[in-house]
Amino acid sequence: MQKIVDDIAAQMASKIEKGTVASYIPQLACVNPDQFSISVALADGSLFNAGCAQTLFSIQSISKVFTLTLALGKLGERVWNRVGREPSGDPFNSIVQLEHEQGKPRNPFVNAGAIAIADAIIQGHQPKETLAEILQFMRFLADDESIAINEKVAHSEELTGERNASLAHFMASFGHFQNPVDAVLGTYFHHCSIAMNTVQLATAGLFLANSGVNPATGYRVVSSKRARRINSLMLMCGHYDGSGEFAYRVGLPGKSGVGGGILAIAPGNASIAVWSPGLDTIGNSKLGTEALELLTQKTGWSVF
Ligand code: DON
C-alpha cells in the first residue's frame, strides 16, 4: 500500500492542471494550490500516507458527514423529517428546490441540508456547546485531541455568508427552525471551519469503512446498518451535482469540501482522505478526485 500511495503522490506532483482554489471564502483563497496529500487508513487500523499528510486544511463540507452522524444519534429517523435522502442535481449552495419542496432540503450534504442539520443538533443549547460537542466527536473519532476550529476561516465565512444566510432564512420562513437563525448559521460556519490533516480525517472516517466500529480505537460509533446508510448518502449526494461523475470515475462513497479535501470510504477495506486545494468547476478537488480514481484502479476497491 505504501508504494501505491507514493506512486499516486508522485503522479499528482507532475500534474499541470490543478484546478482553482475556492475564492468565495477569502481565507480559503490564501491557500497554496501546490499541495497534495493522501492518507489510507485500512480496516485493520494500519495507516499509509504520502505528500503533506500532516498539513492542516479546512474540512468544510466534509464536516457534514459527522454532523449528520451526530444528528442521527440524537434524533434517529426523525432526521428525515428535516432533510431528504435524494441527490439534488444542483450546486451545493442552490436555493431553487427549497421553494417547491416546502423548505425541506433534498439531502443533508447540500448547504441548506447541513444548515437544517445544524438546527436539529443544537436542540436549544448554545451554539458554543454544540460546537464543543462536534469538536469532541471529531477528536474522539480521529483519536486526536489537537483538532480545532480555524477561527479566521469561520470569521471569513461569516463575513461572506449571504447565500447561506438566505438559505437559512428561507427555510426558517416555513417555520422549520427551532433555534434563532444566527445561532444556526454560526454553528454551521464554525463546523465547516474545522481544520484537520488527512491522517486525522482518514482515521475519523474509519467507522464507516468498518461497519460502524473504529478499529483504531475499538469503539462502536454507529450500528452497521447506520454506517451503510451514511455511505449510501455519501455515494448519491456527497459530491452534489458531481456525484454521478464521482461514482462513475471513483466508485466509492465520498464527501468533498471546498477546502479541497475528500473523504472516501471503501467499505470493508479502508477510509481514505485526500487533499489538494484546487477545485473543478463543480467545487470538488480536482487532483483529489484523480488520486482516488487511480487508487480504486490500483486496488479494485470500487463498490461496483
Ligand atoms: O457553506 C459553504 O459554502 C462552505 N462552508 C461549505 C461548502 C462546501 O464545502 C462545498 N463542497 N464542495
> Does 158 share its domain with 78?
yes
Strand partners, 272: 40, 264
> Does 188 share its domain with 129?
yes
In a domain, 31, yes or no: yes
In a domain, 304, yes or no: no
Atom 2 in ligand 1: residue holding the nearest Cα: 111
Closest CA to 290 of 259, 257, 235, 245: 245
Q: Which atom of ligand 1 is nearest to the CA of 164?
A: 1
> Does 52 share its domain with 68?
no
Question: Are 163 and 93 within 8 A, CB to CB?
Answer: yes
> Does 47 share its domain with 132?
no
Annotated binding-site residue? 157? yes
Cβ of 193 below 6 Å from ligand 1: no
Cβ of 284 below 6 Å from ligand 1: yes
Identify the domain boundary among 176, 192, 208. 192
In a domain, 100, yes or no: yes
Q: pTM of the predicted model, to two decimals?
A: 0.97
Residue 175, pLDDT score:
95
> Does 187 share its domain with 105?
yes
Distance CA 190, CA 59 (A): 11
> Does 73 share its domain with 26?
no
Query: Which residue, chain included where needed, has cell 492542471?
Result: 17
Residue 137, pLDDT score:
97
The residue whose CB lies within 8 Å of the most ligand 1 atoms, and thus the one to mutate among 24, 25, 57, 61, is 61
What kind and span of H or E run contains 89? none
CA of 34 to the centre of ligand 1 (A): 21
> Does 132 share its domain with 175?
yes
Identify the domain boundary among 192, 213, 241. 192
Question: Are 114 and 130 within 8 A, CB to CB?
Answer: no
Q: What is the CATH number of the domain that holds 243?
A: 3.40.710.10
> Does 26 share its domain with 56?
yes
Question: Residue 44 phi/psi, 5° resolution?
Answer: -85, 5
In a domain, 165, yes or no: yes
> Does 90 share its domain with 52?
no
Identify the domain boundary among 139, 164, 192. 192
Neighbouring residues of 10: CB distance < 8 A, sequence distance ≥ 6: none
Residues tagged active-site: 61, 64, 188, 240, 258
- For residue 199, give its domain range: 2-60+195-298
Annotated binding-site residue? 188? yes
Q: How many domains does the chain have?
A: 2
In a domain, 117, yes or no: yes
> Does 154 share its domain with 69?
yes
> Does 107 share its domain with 225?
no
Residue 108, pLDDT score:
98
In a domain, 137, yes or no: yes
Distance CA 74, CA 94 (A): 27
Strand partners, 214: 219
In a domain, 282, yes or no: yes
In a domain, 303, yes or no: no
Closest CA to 242 of 32, 114, 27, 87: 87
CA of 191 to the centre of ligand 1 (A): 11
Annotated binding-site residue? 219? no
Task: Compute the C-alpha angle 146/270/193, nearest 5°.
Answer: 35
Instruction: Look up the ipTM and state it.
Output: 0.98
Question: Which three-class secondary structure state does DSSP give residue 195?
Answer: strand
Cβ of 164 below 6 Å from ligand 1: yes
CA of 218 to the centre of ligand 1 (A): 31
Residue 172, pLDDT score:
97
Atom 4 in ligand 1: residue holding the nearest Cα: 60
Q: What average pLDDT values come out for the chain (304 residues) when binned by 10 residues? A: 98 94 92 96 94 98 98 97 96 94 97 98 93 98 97 96 97 96 97 98 97 91 98 97 97 98 98 98 96 98 97
Strands 194-196 and 148-149, sheet pairing: antiparallel
Query: How many angstroms from the chain centroid is the CA of residue 174?
Result: 27
Annotated binding-site residue? 240? yes
> Does 281 share its domain with 214?
yes
Neighbouring residues of 19: CB distance < 8 A, sequence distance ≥ 6: 33, 276, 277, 278, 279, 280, 285, 286, 287
Work out whether the CA dihedral 191, 51, 267, 222 comes out positive or negative: negative
Per-residue DSSP letter, 194: E
Residue 226, pLDDT score:
98
Q: What number of H helices and E strands is found in the chain?
A: 15, 12
Per-residue DSSP letter, 285: B
